[in-house]
Amino acid sequence: MFRDVTTLFSDPRGFRMAIDQMLHPYAGIQIDKVVGLEARGFILGGAIAHQLSLGFVPIRKAGKLPGKCISQDYKLEYGEAVMEIHDDALQPGEKVLMVDDLLATGGTAEAGIKLVEKLGAEVISCAFIIDLPELGGRKLLEKMGQDVSVLCDFSGM
């Protein structure tokens, strides 16, 4: 079953509540940049970065960003893909909040974390609206030492 958050985005009150709730765990925690994973992570990440008065950094599929990039391969349920980030998007030591709409197998987030770390920055947490626990993404990220925050999960696909 496909889980979609675009109807949440179209509801002004629901969208605002989702952003506020995604921000809540990070009150008082130092964050230097917000990183969003393609594509709905751009919507959420941009809104969160705006609320925190921080810069936003996109991580995109290969070939979508202009300029010099670094890349990371990752596995999908149905194959492999490559994610990229600008090679100057983050500075060593910066604290990063990584954002996306859905956590499934965790492959995209894992690739994003590796890209952030290649630039010398640190992912302080990964925030999602939805977790699909049976697919194991949260366990993968936590095994990597990551803090994971989700607003809801859908068990029993």
Distance CA 64, CA 59 (A): 9
* Residue 153, amino acid: D
Inter-residue contact 65 to 73 (CB < 8 Å): no
Q: How far is CA 129 from the centre of its chain?
A: 10
Indicate which residues carry an active-site annotation: 40, 77
Other beta carbons within 10 Å of 139:
12
Q: Which residue has tokens 């996109």?
A: 58
